[in-house]
Amino acid sequence: MDKTGTTTEEREPSMQVYDAMTGPVVINQGDTLELFGIIHGDCTVADGGKAELTGAVEGDLIVDGGSVQVNGKVSGNVYGRSGKVVISGMVVGRLEATTECVVKIKRGAIVAGQQY
């Protein structure tokens, strides 16, 4: 429960972005980002954070315990340290994930770089 008496499950998305943002952007525990625009720089999704990326990340995406749905484009690399990554869009760089990160690449998705 947060300061307003709202549980995390009841809370509306904390950020919807339709325009451009300058990174680095960090999504923390309990926060949700719905991206329809562009992040110029890196984006990190920390433990307990959630991001649905329909727009573009013009840098690296670091998943450090959070949950990410990539519907759009990541121009850099995707680093999955822990948490969950679902890719149905495009990753231009490489995909690196540890055994503590669940990665799902959906049919039709593009990962142009190497996968580790």
Tens of each residue's pLDDT in the chain, 116 residues: 444 444 444 445 578 878 889 989 999 999 999 999 999 999 999 999 999 999 999 999 999 999 999 999 999 999 999 999 999 999 999 999 999 999 999 999 999 988 77
Residues belonging to the chain: 116
Dihedral sign, Cα of residue 8, residue 99, residue 40, residue 38: negative
Q: What is the DSSP string of 42-60?
A: -EEEETT-EEEESSEESS-
* Distance (Å, whole) CA 15 – CA 32: 6
User: Do 106 and 86 touch, CB atoms closer than 8 A?
Assistant: yes
Domain boundaries, the chain: 15-95
